[in-house]
Amino acid sequence: MPCTRRILSHPPAWLVLAALLLLTMPQIARAALPATLETAQYDWVCVTADALVEAYAPLAAHREAQGLDPVVISLSEAIRWSPAGDDTTATLRWLAGVAQQQWGARYLLLGGSHALLPAPIHRLQTTAFTYDHPTDAYFACLDGEWDVDGDGLAAEWGEDAANPVIHLSVGRVPADSPSTVENVVNKIIAFETRPVHRTNGALFISSLMDRLWEEGKPYPNWALAAALDLRDTVQAYDPDLRAGLLLQGQEVVDPEGDPLNETALVDSLGARSHDFVFCQVYGIGRAWELVYPRTLGAGAFDPLVDTGHGFLLAMVSGSVADSREPGVLSHLLTLRSGGAVAAVAPTGMVYLTPSHTFQDLLWPRLTDRSQTRLGDAFTAAQTAFVDQVGWVSSFVATNYWFQSLQGDPATLIRSLAEQTTPAPHRPGPVHVQVVPNPFNPETAISFTVDGRSGDLLPVRVEIFDLQGRRVETLLDQLLPPGPREIPWRAGGGSGLYFVRVTVGDREQTVKLTLIE
């Protein structure tokens, strides 16, 4: 069936007649979902304002050509069908449930800013400050009670019971006019169909990220170190990935004299194509801060227009993805033929350590050539973040609720020409070596995590005594493929011990001899 027949901007004649009849009698209940949609199957669902439905038609056709089954739904129709009435946020939540549970949807695209398609507000509150920002996770995580105390704030730590289990990938295009939607759609299609030879790796950008820096005084740039660590992590997964650097603060006495400034940043993004860009800068909704008080506004990126260099952007910053007001990120996303195609960025303030833990989980999935679509990589990283870090504090929870995907979640990570189906990987056995053995009192346990590039496998290293009692757990975490060496210093007396190394569903146990 042609895709245009699936774009529901005008109701059928019988539905118009029914609506007219409803106007002349008391309205007892909301209209039901049309019979044609009760048994429908859609992979990709877009909901947007009535005036933008036709602007998304080319993207829907593009998705259908890729083998997805798309539908574009106008907001007025969703409200007409929804039991939530004119509550737009509740209607969108209801539609997300219908899309996932009835239609089997994998991707939900919110076509509009928060002014058009509002999300609930999540609050981060400490004794020193309060931040209120939207969370699109409300439309992706469909279980739990998001407002137990009835205060209108979603997923408050210790008050509500929102469940972070993701049911479908949700992205948002912060564009409210047909022309800006056209820019976004054209960039997505161009990015996904670009020739293979135009793939150019990644660019890692990091600013000082500290308001307290005083000119002329040295400052240890922990933000720079974190960006370099992420670059090294990515290259461990994909040694062939070209990784460029644009860093500020290498000269700790004069970070403003380093390469990262407004001109260098814009020139680097516009001079050549980058598949991926990591950008770590201090940010507020309408600007980025390179070094306090210098700010970089949206207009600074206008030279990127018509360069044809689109990229996928991942950010550690302030509330740059809060699309309640226009800002740098929304400008980058809606530029014509240049700038960001899609972005993973926070809507509110997040903390560096949990945020970088999330980036460490996201980037291997971006660079893994077996991964296909951005939304899948994003949701997999979010799920792994909860599994690895745990739900331990309001700061961790806030990092999760504020993370958002800006753009189409079905965006291909690589061009169509690069998409391949990798052969199934058959993990080999775990080979454990202990040197020295016998030992006193230290030894090293070596093994290899066998998996595909981009995999994160559960690895556990445990020490047992001769009676089979666990003496110590040396390691218990998700690790990428590669060789590992774990030191152990025995704290007990001489005798026999055993080390058990478990990688995924495979394990090996080796006898250890501690001598006096």
Using pLDDT thresholds of 50, 70 and 90, give the confidence band for residue 264.
confident
Name the phi and psi angles at 152, rounded to 5. Answer: 85, 0
Residue 312 shares a structural domain with residue 449: no
pLDDT tens track for 280-311: 887 777 788 887 667 888 999 999 999 888 99
Exposure on the CB side of residue 316, measured as CA atoms within 13 A: 25
Residue 372 shares a structural domain with residue 247: yes
Whether 185 is in a domain gets the answer yes
Whether 117 is in a domain gets the answer no
Which of these, 307, 277, 278, 272, lies nearest to 197 by C-alpha position?
Answer: 272
Residue 85 shares a structural domain with residue 196: no
Determine the distance from the C-alpha atom of residue 418 to the mean position of all C-alpha atoms in its chain, rounded to a whole number: 22
Whether 388 is in a domain gets the answer yes
Q: For residue 270, what is the domain's CATH number?
A: 3.40.50.1460
pLDDT tens track for 399-453: 999 999 999 999 999 776 665 444 445 566 688 889 999 999 999 999 888 877 6
By residue range, what is the domain housing residue 292?
Answer: 178-416
pLDDT over 70 at 27, yes or no: no
Residue 392 shares a structural domain with residue 442: no
- Strand-pairing partners, residue 169, are 107
d(CA 350, CA 134) in angstroms, rounded, equals: 13
Domain boundary among 105, 132, 148: 105
Residue 371 shares a structural domain with residue 467: no
Determine the distance from the C-alpha atom of residue 357 to the mean position of all C-alpha atoms in its chain, rounded to a whole number: 12
Residue 262 shares a structural domain with residue 354: yes
Q: Say what the pLDDT of residue 479 is.
A: 85
Determine the distance from the C-alpha atom of residue 272 to the mean position of all C-alpha atoms in its chain, rounded to a whole number: 24
Task: Name the pTM for this structure.
Answer: 0.75
Domain boundary among 90, 105, 120: 105
Which range (82-91, 225-234, 338-347, 424-433) has the least confidence? 424-433
Residue 467 shares a structural domain with residue 388: no
Q: Of all residues in the chain, what percent are helix, strand and coil, respectively (each to 5)?
A: 30, 25, 40
- Strand-pairing partners, residue 464, are 470, 498
Using pLDDT thresholds of 50, 70 and 90, give the confidence band for residue 5.
very low
pLDDT tens track for 32-57: 788 888 888 999 999 999 999 999 99
Residue 406 shares a structural domain with residue 454: no
Domain count, the chain: 3
Residue 347 shares a structural domain with residue 456: no
pLDDT tens track for 306-331: 988 899 999 888 888 998 988 999 99
Whether 141 is in a domain gets the answer no
More confident residue, 91 or 458: 91
Residue 442 shares a structural domain with residue 385: no
Specify the length of the chain in residues: 516
Q: Say what the pLDDT of residue 32 is.
A: 79
pLDDT over 80 at 223, yes or no: no
pLDDT over 90 at 206, yes or no: no
Whether 93 is in a domain gets the answer yes
Q: Say what the pLDDT of residue 294 is.
A: 75
Q: Is 337 left (phi over 0), alpha (psi -120 to 50) or beta?
A: left
Whether 230 is in a domain gets the answer yes
Measured between its terminal Cα atoms, the distance across the chain in Å is 78
Which range (151-155, 167-171, 428-432, 486-490) has the least confidence? 428-432
Domain boundary among 89, 105, 121: 105
Residue 444 shares a structural domain with residue 358: no
Q: Say what the pLDDT of residue 86 is.
A: 85
Q: For residue 469, what is the domain's CATH number?
A: 2.60.40.1930
Rg, the chain, Cα only: 25
Residue 388 shares a structural domain with residue 479: no
Using pLDDT thresholds of 50, 70 and 90, give the confidence band for residue 252.
low
Question: What share of the chain has pLDDT > 90, as a percent?
Answer: 46
Which of these, 502, 496, 463, lies nearest to 484 by C-alpha position?
Answer: 502
Whether 343 is in a domain gets the answer yes
pLDDT over 90 at 467, yes or no: no
d(CA 375, CA 405) in angstroms, rounded, equals: 8
Query: Quick check: 305 and 187 in contact, CB under 8 A?
Result: no
Using pLDDT thresholds of 50, 70 and 90, give the confidence band for residue 356.
confident
pLDDT tens track for 100-123: 999 999 999 999 999 999 999 999
Whether 171 is in a domain gets the answer no
Query: Quick check: 347 and 406 in contact, CB under 8 A?
Result: no
